[in-house]
Amino acid sequence: MKYMLIIAGADDGWAHLSEAEQGALYEKIRAWWGEHAAAGEILDGHELQPGSTATTIRRSPSGEATVTDGPFVEGKEMVAGYGILDLPDLDAAIRLASSWPGTMDTLEIRPIVEREAMPETA
Amino acid sequence: MTERSAVDASLELVLREERTRLVASLVRILGDWDLAEELVQEAAIAALEHWPVDGLPRNLGAWLMTTARRRAVDRLRRDARYRQRLVQLGEEADEMERPIATGGPLGADDRLRLLFTCCHPALSREAQVALTLRTVGGLETSQVARAFLVPEATVAQRLVRAKRKIRDAGIPFRIPESSELPERLEQVLAVLYLVFNEGYLASDGAVSARRELATDAEWLTSLLVRLMPDEPEPLALLALMRLHLARIDARFSDDGSLILLTDQDRSRWDHDAIRGAAASLDRAARMGRPGPYLLQAAIVAVHAEAPSYGETDWAEVVALYDRLIRLQPTPVVALNRALALGELQGPAAALAEIEPLAPRLDGYHLFHAARGELLRRLNRHDEAREADRRALALTDNPAERRLLQARLMEPNGP
């Protein structure tokens, strides 16, 4: 099954960590990601720029677009990255998410609708 | 020809014993919970047609299983959606045709898989409860609704959502790996204990419908014990439930008021059942690794085995609470420990222990009720009444309300 792993962390990111600590955590995440990607469990994914760089576009019922500064959900936790997982079942996805190196983060697992794939990009 | 009534009785009995096994096995084969339940229903209807004419089969459970499985294979063949599944299950074809001997290890595994899946942590507690009662316990949706005092449509929707999540989120139908087992078993036990308490503590409107929840929970727990005989906590939970059920008749007066442990007529307790439960508890204790249910059951056993309230071994109760509080450092456990301590050292000592819990237990009616009782024993009657009034404002339970109201009407007495 395919899942999207949504990784959320404190809005101020790693500001509470020293530069050396940030570097060490980043290395841990790289190693973790590399290991699961090599095993075919993570197909794709990215780290995102902080929530302060986000732009939200809301469509009105008539189709009008309103553009505002910031992410669509204001909160203490911001989406910081995502990965696309390919695993046998939810328990495997929970195990993987539970081993994520960012110990203070919150992770969400969402199954991906697979019956009709989005068209491939050229 | 077999008598119709004999067929009905046999079918009811075998369904009570075998229904869970049938559903569990079909869920595993089909991966479709609704279809599994439907096929069990169909097999039961087929039995009502065939058994009066052909006579009762030698093994009723195996007959139902074979019939349901044959129909499952037909469905799989007919429905394109299941075709791939049928190919995958090719190697299981033999097994599907073979009647399953009752009590076989395979059937047992399926029921355990079913229970763990129903209590998966990715489902809400409400969904876990509804799914466990409906699928493992075999209750009708309407029965679950009546017992939990919620509209039937609400329960139906919870079940639909839960089954959809199991399918769409890929919740596996399996027994957790040993590294996950303690946490997952805790979920199962929490669901069973919640169902039990919902029935055991019931004292309002639909008492009998709710009371049955306690015996349903006891049945489900005994099933879990049979499936996991080497795990101490399920056995301890079963002992805990049986220690409570053995004394349930003495808990209420004829007008439905709650009778406190202090005032219960101990000759109305089922002392054989208490001895049986205590023996189970000893067996669980010998398995080592004492968990929270073992300690709770041990505390209840001290009460159940005491000849009178005054002769309760309070030192033992306090010692058990000391161990429990290390595993479950909650304010409610601290409150109960303080009350036991009060029996050893007097109400002033207990009151001193519970006052610091006030900020965390202010919304808990039993905190105020216990405080009221201690204050009364210290002859601080005005404060006692104030505490009782707080407790009364916080509970809807009619039996508890009656007890508190009676207390408030009592004259100040020595």
Q: Each residue of B49-60: pLDDT tens digit?
A: 999 999 999 999
Task: Note whether B117 and B182 are within 8 A (CB).
Answer: no
Reply yes or no on whether the pLDDT at B341 is more than 50: yes
> Which residue in chain B is spatially nearest to A111 when comparing CA positions?
B169
Q: What is the pLDDT of residues B178-213, one digit of tens each?
A: 888 999 999 999 999 999 998 887 766 556 667 888
**Is a pLDDT exceeding 80 seen at residue A3?**
yes
Strand boundaries in A72-116, DSSP class E: 77-86, 106-111
| This prediction's pTM | 0.86
Q: Collapsing DSSP states into helix, strand and coil, what is residue B235?
A: helix
Architecture of domain A2-47+73-111: 2-Layer Sandwich (3.30)
Cα four-point dihedral sign B328, B329, B334, B340: positive
Q: Which of A5, A86, A91, A113 to mutate to test the interface with B (most CBs of B within 10 A)?
A: A91
> In chain A, what residues touch B172 (CB-CB under 8 Å)?
88-91
> Alpha-carbon distance A70 to A9, whole Å?
16
Let me know: does B52 contact B92? Beta carbons within 8 Å: no
pLDDT value for A117: 64
Distance CA B143, CA B133 (A): 9
Between B101-115, B207-221, B341-355, the lowest mean confidence (pLDDT) is in B101-115
* Domain residue spans of chain B: 4-102
CA-based nearest residue in chain A for residue B166: A90
**Min CA distance, A55 vs chain B (Å)?**
30
Beta carbons of B172 and A94 less than 8 Å apart: no
The pLDDT of residue A83 is 97
User: What does the pLDDT read at residue B221?
Assistant: 96
* ipTM given for this complex: 0.85
What mean pLDDT do residues B317-321 have?
A: 97
**Pairing status of strand A65-69 against strand A55-59:** antiparallel
| Residue B220 contacts residue B195 (beta carbons within 8 Å) | yes
3-state secondary structure of A80: strand
Q: Is the pLDDT of residue A72 over 60?
A: yes
CA of B369: how far to CAs of B136, B304, B365, in Å? 37, 22, 6
What's the CA gap between B95 and B47, in Å, rounded?
A: 22
The answer to whether B317 and B325 have CB atoms below 8 angstroms apart is no
